[in-house]
Every structure is written in structure tokens, then in C-alpha cells.
Structure 1
């Protein structure tokens, strides 16, 4: 894990109806590596943030996690191929472009690029 900076996100924990399905989805889309700690909990390590998935009923709309991609179109294609649904297709905003999608647990996330 990198040295923590002041006021940065350190860890994100998702509720998932099916932890294995979540692992498969995020491995296919983003290449995340997982460590299972129990049948009901798995953790992932990222370059800038770590997190985990635990069994529970997902609640949509409480937070929008935004991921980065150097190739936005390729990432969108991987999200679709893995079973994600595009909520807002690629659009421009000050500073870059992004799209928003839902994962198999119906969480809405975004991916941005310069």
C-alpha cells in the first residue's frame, strides 16, 4: 500500500449479493486481484485505494465511486462484455470524459479519463 496522504480515500467496502460474481466482474473489467478472508468477504488491493466486498443487500445511490482508465472506450467495452450496463455513455466534463455503469449488484460507478 502506498503512503497515505491527508484526506484521501483509503478503503472502499461494497455490499454484494454474490461475492464471487463481484470478484469475477471486477477481475474481468479492471484486473483487480482478490484475497478471500471467508466465504462472505474478499478484499482487493489497488494502486491508489484498497477495498473489499462483503455479503449483504446492496443499496444503490449512496456513493458514486469513480475509477480511472487510460483507454475509456476499451474499459467501456470490457464493462459491457462482463455484464455491466451503461447508465450514461461517454460524455465530456471539465477536465476529461467519463461514463457511468451499473455492476451485477446494481451499484452505479463511473470511469473517467483525460
Structure 2
């Protein structure tokens, strides 16, 4: 399958409060050591997601999904040609790759992740 769902994150306004909430509601555990400012969600044997503090005012608190792409820049350009709005430009994640986010025709955020 081309461009599979690669990662998901809950973008929140208060990370400690979200950890407390989701750990009690879903019995999730959080890895706060790998990326201290980006707690990874451990949901058992399946890949989990992460919690992210809302970094810019153009983003909303939401469940964000990221799709694995070969080239963030070209995918973002194709989305813009089709009428998408850039929410977050291509941004490096040290040791991981690059990410970006756009809003599709209905305003739904779509994340892109290009691994190293």
C-alpha cells in the first residue's frame, strides 16, 4: 500500500493533564524518556501514538494522523496545487526525518512524515 498511515498523535493544550486523563481512561502507559517533550503512547503490542503540546496557534487540539511519504516537500506541493492549505511547513525532526501538515478541502488536518 502506498503512503500507509504511519503515526498518530493527540495534540493537546496540557500534556501532564492529558497523560493523567488517558492513562486513567484507557490504561495507557507513556514513554517520557525517548522524547521528553513528546511522550510516546504505549498501547500494548501494536504501535501507539504520542502526545504533543500544541506548538503553534494555527493548530487545534485534535487527533492527528501522519502518512508515510517518500518526499514531504513534493507531497505538500501536490496538496497545495489541489487546494490544500499548509498548516505546518516541512520541519526536521532530529533522528527521525521530516514532517509537515496541511488542511484538505474540508479543513481536516493531514500529517506527512518522511523518515530518515
Q: TM-score if structure 2 supplies the norm length?
A: 0.46
